[in-house]
Amino acid sequence: SPAARPPRAAHLRPRRACARSAARAAGLGLTACAALLNGSMLVPYKLSFDGDAEDGEGGGGALGSGLEDALDALVFKMTGVGVSALAAGAWAAHANGDSLVFTPWGALSGLFFTLAVGTNTLALARMPVSLNTGLWGSVSVVTSFMWGVLLLGDELTWPAGAAAGVALLVAGTFGVVSADGGGGGGSNGDDALRQAGEKPVEKEGKFWGMEPSDAPRCLCLSLLSGVWSGAVLVPLSFASVKGTEFVPSLALGAWVSAVALASAACALLPREQPLPGLLAPFPQVSAGWPWAWTDERRRLLRMATCAGFIWTAGDVCTLNAIGMVGFSVVYPVTHTPLISGLWGLLVFGDFDPAPASDGSSVDEEGMELSAASAGGSQAAGEAGRPQFVVAAAAVEADGHVSESGAQAIEEGGDGGDDLSDAAVTFFAAGTAILGGAALLANSVRH
C-alpha cells in the first residue's frame, strides 16, 4: 500500500492563517490607497492658490480652456508618469533581482492611455471633476467588461448579475448627469419661499457649472475617455511582464504618443486664427505656443506632473492589490466616483447653490435685489458655506425682506447645513456605479 502522507504540522496552521489574513489586510489597504489616488488624480488641475495667477489673484485652477492648455497638460502629465513609472519599475526589478524589461504590449497600453487622458483633459477644462470622473469611470467599467468577455476569454458565470450591473451603471451614469451641481442646494429654503408665494433665485444658463454650448461636447469627450480608459489594461493580458514591471513600458508608450500628438498639433494648428472643424469652439491658439513660457504654463507644468505622479502611485497600488485580494474586489472600488465627489463637495463647491450672476436679481414686477441687501448670504459664502440667495420677490421696495419671505427663510432654513439635493443625487448615483461595477466584476471568471 502507498505510504501514508505525513500529517501536516498542526502548529503551522495558525501561522499560515495569520499570514493569509495579513496579506488580505495589506491588499485591502492597497485597494483603499488606489481608490483614493484614482479619485484624486485630476484634482491638481483644479486647485488654485493665492499668488499663482498674475497680479496676485488666485486662479481658477491650473488647467485653462484652450486646446494648447490640454496638449501641454497631456505632455506634462505623461512626463510625470514616465519619470515615476521608471523609478517604480526599476525598484521592482531590483527587488526581484531582474532588470527592466520593455514590451510592445505596454507601449500599446500607453497609446490607449494617452487617448484617454487627451480626450478627458479637453473635457475637464470646462467641467467639474466630480461629474467628469463619474462619467468616464462608469463607461470604463463597462468597456473593460466587454473586452474581457468578447476578446480575453473571460467566462460569463452569472448573466443575471452582469445584466443588473450594467443597469446599475447606466442608472448611476444618468444620475451623475442629472445631479446638476450648482443648481441650487438650499432646497428647504426654496420650498418654504414657494409656499409663502415668493420666488427663489435660480441659476441662469448653467448646467453643472458649464455653459450650455459646452455641455454636449464635454459629456461626449468624457464618455469617449471612458471607452479608451477601459482598454488601457487589455494588452496586459498578452504581455509576459506583469504587475509593477509592466508600468514602465506603458509609461514610455504614453509619453512617446503624447509628444507625437502635441508635435503634430504644433505643426498643423493655425495661430491666432479660428480653429477648423470640430475644434472651432475652442479659443484660438496663441502665436507663441509652444515656445513661450508664461507663469500659467509653469503652474500647469507643476500641477500636471503632480497628477502624473499620483496616477503612477495609484496604478502600482491597483496592480499589486489585484494579486492580493482579486480583481473582483479591487476593480469596482478603484472606479467609483465617490472620492472625486467628496473633492467636489468639500473643496471645489461643485454642489453649492449658485449666487445670482451679477449680484442682483429682479422679481416678476421688476423689483431689484442689490448685492448689499444680500449681505448675510455673502457672509455665509465667505465663511465657506453654500450661499442662499434671498428671493427677489421677497424684498420690498425699501430693500428689506418681506415678512412672509423672512418667515419662510427662518422656517425653511438656508440649506447650508445639509447636503444639497445635487450632492445627495450624486452620491446615490456613485453608490449605484460602485454596486454595478462590483456585480460585473463578480459575474465573470477571469
- As a whole-number percent, the residues of the chain with pLDDT over 90 amount to 33
- Break the chain into its structural domains and give their ranges: 59-180+208-350+426-445
Which of 172, 167, 175, 177 lies closest to 432, judged by CA?
172
* Overall average pLDDT of the 52-79 stretch: 76
Q: Best-predicted range by mean pLDDT among 78-92, 164-178, 237-251?
A: 78-92
Per-residue pLDDT tens over the stretch 86-140: 999 888 888 888 888 899 999 999 999 999 999 999 888 888 888 888 888 889 8
Residue 445 belongs to what H/E stretch?
strand 444-445
Q: What is the C-alpha separation between 111 and 97, in angstroms, rounded?
A: 29
Most distant CA pair in the chain, distance: 106
User: What is the pTM assigned to this prediction?
Assistant: 0.74
Give the pLDDT band (50/70/90) at residue 60: low
Residue with cell 408665494: 197
| Cα distance between residue 426 and residue 340, in whole Å | 11
CA 262 to chain centre: 23
CB 316 within 8 A of CB 87: no
Residue with cell 527587488: 95
Is the omega angle on the peptide bond into residue 290 within 30 degrees of 0, that is, cis?
yes
Mean pLDDT calculated for residue range 168-197: 64
Contacts of 301 (CB under 8 A, 6+ apart): 72, 76
Q: How far apart (Å, rounded) are the C-alpha atoms in residues 164 and 140?
A: 17
Is residue 205 packed enough to be buried (19+ CB in 10 Å), middle (13-18) or exposed (0-12)?
Answer: exposed
pLDDT at 376 over 60: no
Confidence band, pLDDT 50/70/90 cuts, at residue 404: low
pLDDT digits (tens, 9 = 90+) for 250-306: 999 999 999 999 999 999 999 999 998 878 888 999 999 999 999 999 999 999 999
Contact present, 222 and 123 (Cβ < 8 Å): yes
Tell me how far CA of residue 344 lies from CA of 1, 44, 156, 305, 441, in angstroms: 70, 13, 36, 21, 27
Whether the pLDDT of residue 183 is over 50: the answer is no
Using alpha carbons, select from 259, 254, 255, 280 the residue that is nearest to residue 269.
Answer: 280
Q: Can you count the helices (H) and strands (E) in the chain?
A: 15, 4
Position 412 confidence tier, pLDDT thresholds 50, 70, 90: very low
Nearest to 317 by CA among 108, 36, 112: 36
